[in-house]
Amino acid sequence: MSKRARIARTAAISNGMVWFGLALFVGAFAVQLAPAALAGAWAGVGGWICLVLATIGLIVMGLVEQRTMRAARVKYGHHP
């Protein structure tokens, strides 16, 4: 495996870890606040729903980013 391929692979792995970490953080925050939000006012429920949607958005963005990076590696011939 060439140096360039190793760097591309490392970048893809670290990028995936960042997106996964962000999604996990926001998801854990939403789960922690869920009981209070669901027992409270509608504003609390709306806030919890926003956190869940943000988590889903981060997961989708991470998947799109990984797919884009993988397509670029295949296009330029730097796949492992």
Measured distance CA(36)–CA(4) in Å, rounded = 49
Tell me which H or E stretch contains 56: helix 42-75
Is residue 65 pLDDT above 60, yes or no?
A: yes
Structure tokens at 50: 């926003």
Mean pLDDT of 41-55: 77
Query: Are 39 and 68 a contacting pair, CB within 8 Å?
Result: no
pTM, to two decimals: 0.55
Query: Are 12 and 69 a contacting pair, CB within 8 Å?
Result: yes
Is residue 56 pLDDT above 80, yes or no?
A: yes
Phi/psi at 24 (nearest 5 deg)?
Answer: -65, -40
What is the average pLDDT value for the chain, to the nearest integer? 77
Query: Are 55 and 25 a contacting pair, CB within 8 Å?
Result: no
Mean pLDDT of 45-55: 79
Is residue 80 pLDDT above 60, yes or no?
A: no
